[in-house]
């Protein structure tokens, strides 16, 4: 019997220890449940809770939602922006019409005295106006047959041109060759060029002149009078 109280005390002590242990475990469990519930409460207030909340709600994009939850709405909208439009890079969708490109071209005016604009570029001399050259004078044809020292033939002038034969003096003394006079040639006669006579078209107005009208009316009046007189002349014998 003397051992009963200690046994009861130990039982009581064991029970007390067990109760305290159970209470501690229960408290820890409740604390864990409380902390989890506070994390799961929507709109909790801090970023961790929001991140956990967004990640829990997101099904396929949980990580992206958690990252986006840390950004502001302005940052979310700015993240999709291609950037602000810088000044100076504006270009209208509808371009302003350029007058140089769209203006109707006027016909080119050709003036007779104007030189070609290509003359200065190419460097070619301007083409002189063509004019009728007079026919070259008939060159005397001398036929040197024989004898005597032949006159030297003048060298042709530089630059080309007709070869001029100098006059050959008559041979001194008799003998020698015979000079055949050149045949007389008449210069070609150019027919006179008569300028074409331009007959201006008759300028008749669309409306006849008053004198024309008067003449026509006078003619009608004379015809009418003649018919009237003729009819009267035919009726007068019958009336008698």
Partner 1 sequence: MNQILVALACAALVTLVSGCNSKPQANAPAGSTPGAARPTERNALPPAALKGRTLLTKAQLDQAMQSGTLDRPVNSLLTVDGPLHFGDFVWNDKAIPAGPTWVRIDLGKQIMSVFRGPNEIGTAVVVYGGDNKQTPAGKFHILMKDRDHRSSLYDAAMPYTLQLTGDGVSIHGSTVRWGAATHGCIGLPLEFARRLFEQAKVGDEVVIVPPSKAGNQTA
The nearer residue to partner 1, 70 or 221, going by C-beta atoms, is 70
Buried b (16+ CB within 10 A) or exposed e, 31-63: eeeeeeeeeeeeeeeeeebbbbbbbeeeeeeee
The neighbour count for residue 152, using CB atoms within 10 Å, is 7
Shortest Cβ 11–partner 1 spacing (Å) = 14
**25 interacts with partner 1 by CB under 8 A:** no
Q: Minimum CB separation from partner 1 for residue 83, in Å?
A: 7
Alpha-carbon dihedral angle through residues 23, 29, 31, 33, given to the nearest 10 degrees: -150
User: Quick one: which segment of 50-58, 108-116, 167-175, 213-221 binds partner 1 (CB under 8 A)?
Assistant: 50-58
- Give yes or no for residue 50 binding partner 1 (CB under 8 A): yes
Site for partner 1 in 130-169 (CB under 8 A): none
76 touches 67 (CB < 8 A): no
Q: Is the dihedral of CA 36, 37, 42, 47 positive or negative?
A: negative
Site string for partner 1, 57-96 (x = CB under 8 A): xxxxx--xx--xx-xxxx-xxxxxxxxxx-x-xxxxxx--
Q: Which is nearer to partner 1, 34 or 163 (CB)?
A: 34
Residue 165 CB partners (closer than 8 Å, separation 6+): 139, 140, 142, 153, 154
Q: Rounded to whole angstroms, how far apart are CA atoms 145 and 177?
A: 6
Q: How many residues sit close enough to partner 1 to count as binding (CB under 8 A)?
A: 51
Interface residue list for partner 1 (CB under 8 A) = 16, 19-20, 22-23, 26-27, 30-31, 33-34, 37-38, 41-43, 45, 47, 50, 53-54, 57-61, 64-65, 68-69, 71-74, 76-85, 87, 89-94
């Amino acid at each position: 019997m003397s051992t009963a109280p200690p046994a009861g005390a130990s039982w009581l002590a064991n029970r007390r220890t067990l109760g305290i242990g159970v209470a501690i475990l229960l408290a820890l469990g409740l604390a864990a449940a409380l902390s989890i519930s506070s994390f799961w409460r929507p709109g909790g207030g801090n970023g961790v809770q929001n991140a956990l909340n967004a990640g829990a709600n997101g099904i396929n994009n949980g990580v992206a939602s958690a990252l986006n939850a840390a950004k502001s709405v302005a940052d979310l909208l700015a993240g999709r922006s291609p950037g602000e439009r810088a000044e100076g890079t504006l270009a209208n969708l509808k371009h302003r019409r350029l007058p140089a490109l769209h203006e109707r071209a006027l016909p080119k005016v050709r003036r007779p005295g104007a030189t070609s604009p290509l003359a200065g570029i190419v460097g070619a001399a301007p083409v002189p106006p063509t004019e009728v050259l007079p026919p070259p004078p008939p060159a005397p044809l001398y036929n040197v047959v024989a004898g005597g020292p032949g006159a030297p033939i003048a060298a042709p002038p530089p630059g080309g041109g007709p070869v001029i034969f100098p006059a050959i003096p008559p041979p001194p003394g008799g003998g020698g060759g015979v000079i055949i006079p050149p045949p007389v040639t008449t210069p070609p006669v150019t027919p006179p060029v008569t300028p074409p006579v331009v007959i201006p078209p008759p300028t008749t107005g669309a409306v006849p002149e008053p004198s024309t009208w008067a003449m026509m009316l006078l003619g009608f009046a004379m015809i009418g009078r003649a018919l009237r007189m003729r009819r009267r002349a035919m009726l007068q014998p019958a009336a008698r």
